[in-house]
Amino acid sequence: HLLLSFSWGILFSHPRDFTPVCTTELGRAAKLAPEFQKRNVKMIALSIDSVQDHLSWCKVGTLLGLAVTCMAGITSCKGEGGAEGRAGPAGQLDKHLLPSPDPAPRAQVFVFGPDKKLKLSILYPATTGRNFDEILRVVDSLQLTAYKKVATPVDWKPGDSVMVVPTLADEEAKQLFPKGVFTKDLPSGKKYLRYTPQP
């Protein structure tokens, strides 16, 4: 809570340090740090390994030309019960992580709002790299909903038209969205698909 203050936050869980997929993700997150900062989002990574391993991993990233220093918030969560003791009940273990034969936590993304409430979580197998373009798109969508009372339709991209949330009455929508509100014609004749240019 102290770290987030009044910011949005993203917590990335990593199965282990020095895994190839996670190393590419750290680099991508570091390169996109300015984009997250523009959106008032703070990032932190979580791994089950020791702090010593985290520091060594950052050095590897530096050798690869990855600016991982901004991801220095990697924290160890391994307790007496090991990875399974912490991650097992949450269904976060992945038996396919290489090279370890032991199950390791899956890669997960948690997005928190300034109210410290979870807004979204995405679970990836440890063998599949996260899509950071999608994570940024999701943050944009969540922030539009939080600040502008709109939702985003399927395959929405920033700049596309958005949808007026169902809880907003037509008259209020007209006042809030001066660029206009238009509805999509449906066979049922119902007018619940209300669109407006992205505010």
Positions marked active-site: 22
CB atoms within 10 A of CB 9: 21
What is the DSSP secondary structure assignment for residue 67, as one 8-state letter?
A: -
CB 68, CB 62: distance < 8 Å: yes
Q: Is 59 exposed, middle or buried (0-12, 13-18, 19+ CB in 10 A)?
A: exposed
Residues 6+ apart with CB under 8 A from 9: 3, 41, 42, 43, 44, 111, 112
CA dist 132 and 43 (Å) reads: 12
What is the DSSP secondary structure assignment for residue 140, as one 8-state letter?
A: H
Tally helices (H) and strands (E) across the chain: 6, 11
CA dist 173 and 162 (Å) reads: 12
Residues 6+ apart with CB under 8 A from 95: 103
